[in-house]
Chains A and B, each alone.
Chain A
């Protein structure tokens, strides 16, 4: 948790990733009304920093991750915006050049990575794959590198000769991390890295990501619906709702003084078993239809603070003091929720 005592705002010169007005839509083809999965997102990430993206299923957080590493499914397209990474624009790179970046500069631990391994190849062969593609190290040194990587994630070297089905879920997740850091990328994207893992493995994986980041100094984008876990790991949090970032601030500020009603409700729906609430609060209603999002604030129909203004006009993401941005006309009233 060392970094959280420092000023978390990235220095201009250290900025690793800068996303401006990014929009990614899914469309089944001409005539189909597109799903606006990511709809005008801005954020920045510095080297060595962790940014946590949190929100409910369908809010666009995984799509945002897939857009950055340019691994969208065929129906998905970046339709607008810029992605500046290491000083160059990668949002519009042709496919042939995207391959040079994947694994080498940006790598991703995909959601359900435990099940993403090829069942008929050994773990070692699969971890070696990114090294081979990017021609890193002479061939004969790659096996040693695989063992070194396994050691970094607390796995025995003989795991290299094993097949995915011989490993537990937690071991596979650690192998996926070893593969993601094989080429020492500048940016690591982790999509739900601990979902489906039980608490003991979860704590181990989160602490491991933190340790590896301190060692390798990559920037990290963590995507999760598990607010408690993500706040442990992240310097800053971005809360996504309906394809947009509605609030962003250092983790402590999000926890202490949420300034968007949606964030406040999310925090109220958490159950800390050591301090259980008398009554867990539910967020009534459902997320907006992203083929046809409402005018104005997308959270308005579920929001108890909403007024006419909210339904008529979209609140911009604006500074609400101290490193804290929110997209809410009523952010001063959020503390009363």
Chain B
């Protein structure tokens, strides 16, 4: 589909729309007071040092198992929850240093669309009321302007004619229509950047296609950049320019969407992609070979955090942190990964230089 044609954002001379550097979100695990006297606090490293940037009009997807931290990453990068450390820049503005009221103002430009429309929408409000709400929060009170923005948003999400939907309640809409109302709610504020958490995975296949096309249209027509969080890897490839694969709080591989799926380098990306069932019943379904239990990001393994599940792990992987580095890949010059074993391996002397030091 769209993919490569539009962006190669890291090459582009333009400034990225959103950039994060060494972003961290750690939670302190709650425990009883008695226990807390005798043990160190437990830190859940949900997001543990993520750096990436998203270009204008780019669609970037993060994929990974439940528990890998992708939803927390999405919330942290728009400060729905506060980061523990790191930088987030939106068009050059440092979001982390903004006061609450400045951040509130900023939210007009950066919106988040949550995954479950049934939970995210107040059942007692009509579509009109649901779309008016964000504008009222942002002091867009002129009725005529509200009306125009609502109509434009409903048109953009293809709920037409708009008049037919304005007075309906969520229970009168299908799952796919509700998902589009959620997008319309973000669009009334005319955002430049949208974080969408699992926009398609709750939907039936036939409806899913419509929501994916909607995201693509919004990017093409309104030039909105998207950060999509999903375990629907088919959707991620179909839509995205680039994909990042997340494991235990870190992006372990990143590159052009097609390249990541056709030629994954990191053993975790490989396992993830091999587990996707192809629809052809003759092709056997391979188990990933890495087991299905994601460790909790509390006591992280030494060295590479994937090594306990990794079929390619060596003794060295248990000791040394892998470095985030470029690896050559067919039709993807900018593939990055963090794995000791991906070719070309670094020489032992190179390794010695970085071994044991946490450059994070």
- Residues of A near any B CB (own CB < 8 A): 1, 4, 56-57, 168-171, 197-204, 206-207, 225, 227-229, 231-232, 234, 251-252, 255, 265-267, 269-283, 286
CA distance A204 to B236 in the complex (A): 22
Contact (A255, B279) CB under 8 Å given A1-B284, A271-B238: yes
Q: Is the CB of B275 closer than 8 A to any CB of chain A?
A: yes
Q: Is the CB of B209 closer than 8 A to any CB of chain A?
A: yes
Contact (A204, B292) CB under 8 Å given A168-B67, A227-B279, A272-B278: yes
Question: Nearest Cβ in chain A — how far from B73, in angstroms?
Answer: 16
CA distance A207 to B285 in the complex (A): 8
CA distance A265 to B294 in the complex (A): 36
CA distance A170 to B294 in the complex (A): 10
In order of increasing CB-CB distance, the 4 nearest A-B pairs are A271-B234, A251-B281, A283-B206, A280-B209
CA distance A277 to B290 in the complex (A): 29
Inter-chain contacts of A200 with B (CB < 8 A): 65, 271-272, 275, 288, 290, 292
- Report which of A169, A202, A206, A252 forms a contact with B282, defined as CB distance below 8 A: A252
Inter-chain contacts of B212 with A (CB < 8 A): 280
Contact (A269, B206) CB under 8 Å given A4-B281, A171-B293: yes
Contact (A266, B205) CB under 8 Å given A1-B284, A272-B278: yes
Q: Which of B233, B273, B279 has the most CB of A within 10 A?
A: B279
Q: Which of B285-320 contact A (CB under 8 A)?
A: 285-288, 290, 292-294
CA distance A281 to B213 in the complex (A): 10
Q: Is the CB of B92 closer than 8 A to any CB of chain A?
A: no
- Report which of A201, A232, A280 forms a contact with B238, defined as CB distance below 8 A: A280
CA distance A282 to B237 in the complex (A): 17
Inter-chain contacts of A234 with B (CB < 8 A): 281
Question: Nearest Cβ in chain A — how far from B201, in angstroms?
Answer: 8
Q: Is the CB of B261 closer than 8 A to any CB of chain A?
A: yes
Inter-chain contacts of A228 with B (CB < 8 A): 277-279
CA distance A201 to B233 in the complex (A): 14
- Report which of A265, A266, A271, A286 forms a contact with B237, defined as CB distance below 8 A: A271
Question: Nearest Cβ in chain A — how far from B213, in angstroms?
Answer: 7
Inter-chain contacts of B287 with A (CB < 8 A): 203-204, 207
Question: Nearest Cβ in chain A — how far from B120, in angstroms?
Answer: 17
CA distance A270 to B276 in the complex (A): 12
Would A270 and B205 count as touching, CB distance under 8 A?
A: yes
CA distance A207 to B288 in the complex (A): 11
- Report which of B205, B206, B277, B282 forms a contact with A203, defined as CB distance below 8 A: B277
Q: Is the CB of B175 closer than 8 A to any CB of chain A?
A: yes
Would A170 and B293 count as touching, CB distance under 8 A?
A: yes
Would A279 and B1 count as touching, CB distance under 8 A?
A: yes
Would B237 and A276 count as touching, CB distance under 8 A?
A: yes
Question: Nearest Cβ in chain A — how far from B70, in angstroms?
Answer: 10
Would A202 and B277 count as touching, CB distance under 8 A?
A: yes
Would B288 and A203 count as touching, CB distance under 8 A?
A: yes
Knowing that A168-B293, A201-B65 touch, tell me 16 more A-B residue pairs with CB under 8 angstroms: A1-B282, A57-B204, A168-B294, A198-B231, A203-B288, A225-B204, A227-B279, A231-B279, A232-B281, A266-B206, A272-B234, A272-B279, A273-B237, A280-B212, A280-B238, A286-B174
**Number of chain B residues whose Cβ lies closer than 8 Å to a Cβ of chain A:** 45
CA distance A330 to B83 in the complex (A): 59
CA distance A270 to B278 in the complex (A): 10
Q: Which of A197, A201, A265 has the most CB of B within 10 A?
A: A201
Would A274 and B278 count as touching, CB distance under 8 A?
A: yes
Inter-chain contacts of B277 with A (CB < 8 A): 199, 202-203, 206, 228-229, 231-232
CA distance A265 to B208 in the complex (A): 13
Question: Nearest Cβ in chain A — how far from B55, in angstroms?
Answer: 22
Would A232 and B285 count as touching, CB distance under 8 A?
A: yes
CA distance A202 to B294 in the complex (A): 14
Inter-chain contacts of B174 with A (CB < 8 A): 286
* A207 nearest in chain B by CB position: B287
* B177 nearest in chain A by CB position: A286
Q: Is the CB of B262 closer than 8 A to any CB of chain A?
A: yes
Inter-chain contacts of B1 with A (CB < 8 A): 276, 278-279
* B276 nearest in chain A by CB position: A199
Question: Nearest Cβ in chain B — how far from A303, in angstroms?
Answer: 13
* A52 nearest in chain B by CB position: B281
Inter-chain contacts of B207 with A (CB < 8 A): 56, 282
CA distance A227 to B281 in the complex (A): 10
Inter-chain contacts of A1 with B (CB < 8 A): 281-282, 284
Inter-chain contacts of A170 with B (CB < 8 A): 292-293
Q: Which of B67-104 contact A (CB under 8 A)?
A: 67
Question: Nearest Cβ in chain A — how far from B109, in angstroms?
Answer: 30
Inter-chain contacts of B162 with A (CB < 8 A): none
Q: What sequence of 0s and 1s flags, for each residue 229-261 of chain B, a beta carbon within 8 Å of any chain A beta carbon? A: 001011111100000000000000000000001
Inter-chain contacts of A252 with B (CB < 8 A): 281-282
Would A57 and B175 count as touching, CB distance under 8 A?
A: yes
Q: Is the CB of B220 closer than 8 A to any CB of chain A?
A: no
Would A225 and B205 count as touching, CB distance under 8 A?
A: yes
* A251 nearest in chain B by CB position: B281
* A280 nearest in chain B by CB position: B209
Would B281 and A203 count as touching, CB distance under 8 A?
A: no
Q: Which of B208, B281, B290 has the most CB of A within 10 A?
A: B281
